Chains A and B, each alone.
Chain A
């Protein structure tokens, strides 16, 4: 830390400066988090009919519900497949865009565009593009009837969600990974070339190890992002169907809370999802983070 002489010494002014944001954060972040924990231990009546302490009853009720486990399992599958694709694809694109070729300035511009298109907007577009009757795969159904049926086949619906999610996730991951690649000193490439490493070899032995911090970071953020931002896609493309095949936890919590008026059940699942997300971030930093050398 720097010496205290390089700071103002006011008593009340810093409090005044911090207060507005802190009030908002206490009110709209900490109060809801605390309330979710509170409600998970109470049976809450939907229309303000009072509440009753029930201990861990809500948790045992949720944990005994097979639908909860199915939604959790789907969330995990989506998280792993969608996140992997949403990091690997931008990685390949970033390595390609890092080369001095004619397309790379165009790509660097266009690949950021999805940042301006809401998940729900692109969900509406993909719902049309993958529509089995008028969409891009409709001709396929003329030759092989029923081959593409996202309205009936859960796997097809799942694929649609992943394609849309990866589309939305490209800008952030691409920009971060490209920035990482550009920060690699040019002299390292020259040294590797002198040692006889060709451009393909340099990707594996030089670029990938050196952008490990960025890869790690994008993966951490992408895990949480895939769990939460998928809501807009589900609500516009599949509505959780067919037959609940795309009802992920974040969608189930919304449906239980706002359509089923099961506030205690929804809060209990919220608590478990929050604990999972925090543990996930913690584990990744503890285990993965140690193996990465942050020094350049």
Chain B
């Protein structure tokens, strides 16, 4: 199709250039600031040209702060979230689509509802549950009257206690309690031809053989897409790791970075150190996006459907 589209192409180029500057500008400024010393930033303010103190600021970050250890925590949380979400939601979607079960729609509705209310909204009571994950059991014992029965015979009601605060598991599992993965796999499984199943049955494949030899190889890109998406989401979490881990040793890198900001003591914050932190903390996920862009975009589009 040939037509004169010069005016719109110029406008589109200008718009895209503005968009790219908007995205890259803050990242670039963080990098240039991270390459200046505290004194220079105090005198000159924000500078567009790189300096030569980047290595020193990163060294300070490594020696004076807990960012390295917190990066390890972030890695554990992000990998744990990605792996657990992929495995559990794959199995759940598999059961919902490929088994003859009457309660499938009820379970799916229960899972889907989790998408509506993000963890950040219900953080207060999620914290209480994490402080004692057996508290629902206690409540059930109380409600059913079992506990009054028990206390009559044994003198005291049952009060079970198990806290997962300040543990890696505790930082991970509330993130996994989410329906996006199940939704994504279910949609994918429903697009597969049913004859696949019949053929596999004819060849004598049972449920486990079917999942291993047929479903998994077919879903490789979907799994990769969900893995990238949940890894990034685990790495960038803020509110949950902020309340779920109370000691600096257990906090994630993003929380540790935000803690570098002094609480209003009138002094100018150590911006070069913080910008170096922002760059370092974002490095792993940014590399992942650059290398695995294909899967990320696929994942974002799949979660929409």
Residues of A near any B CB (own CB < 8 A): 2-10, 13-15, 17-18, 20-22, 24-33, 35-36, 39, 89, 92-93, 95-97, 99, 101-104, 106-107, 109-129, 131, 133-136, 138, 167, 170-172, 175-176, 179, 189-190, 193, 198-200, 214, 217, 224-225, 227-229, 231-232, 235-236, 239, 250, 253-254, 257-258, 263, 266-267, 270, 273-274, 277-278, 281
Contact = CB atoms under 8 A, between A and B. Distances in A.
Contact of A14 (B101, B174, B210, B236): B101
Contacts of A128: 29-30, 33, 46, 269, 271, 274-275
A115 B257 contact: no
Interface stretch (B53-61, B90-98, B144-152, B216-224): B90-98
A100 to B, nearest CB: 9
B188 interface: no
B3 to A, nearest CB: 6
Contact of B281 (A110, A118, A189, A190): A118
A179 B299 CA distance: 12
B261 interface: yes
Contacts of B121: 227-228, 250, 270, 273-274, 277
Given A29-B114, A29-B177, A133-B268, A193 B3 contact: yes
Given A125-B26, A134-B271, A32 B207 contact: no
A113 B281 contact: no
A93 B146 CA distance: 61
Interface string B109-142: 0110110111011111111111001011000000
A198 B9 CA distance: 12
Contacts of B198: 5-6
Contacts, number: 320
Of the four ranges (under 10, 10 to 19, 20 to 34, 35 or more), the interface on chain B belongs to 35 or more
Contacts of B122: 29, 32-33, 36, 270, 274
A208 B23 CA distance: 25
Contacts of A179: 301, 304
B260 to A, nearest CB: 8
A79 B30 CA distance: 28
Interface in B154-180: 173-174, 176-179
Nearest to B287: A116
B51 interface: no
Given A103-B16, A124-B278, A134-B45, A8 B29 contact: no
A223 to B, nearest CB: 11
Contacts of B258: 120, 123-124, 232, 235-236
Contacts of A224: 116, 118
B63 interface: no
Interface of B: 1, 3, 5, 7-9, 11-13, 15-17, 19-20, 22-24, 26-27, 29-30, 33, 41-42, 45-46, 88-89, 91-92, 94-96, 98-101, 107, 110-111, 113-114, 116-118, 120-130, 133, 135-136, 173-174, 176-179, 182, 194, 197-198, 207, 210, 232, 235-239, 242-243, 254-255, 257-258, 260-261, 264, 268-269, 271, 274-275, 277-278, 281-282, 285-286, 288-290, 293, 296-297, 300-301, 304
Contact of B8 (A5, A31, A199): A199
Nearest to A109: B293
B16 A96 contact: yes
Nearest to B24: A110
B interface: dominant SS: helix
B286 A274 contact: no
Contacts of B207: 8, 10, 13
Contacts of B95: 13-15, 17-18
24 contacts: A8-B99, A13-B207, A21-B88, A24-B173, A25-B111, A28-B126, A29-B114, A93-B16, A101-B13, A103-B17, A112-B289, A118-B238, A118-B281, A120-B257, A124-B274, A125-B27, A125-B29, A128-B271, A129-B29, A134-B46, A134-B268, A167-B26, A176-B300, A199-B5
B289 A125 contact: no
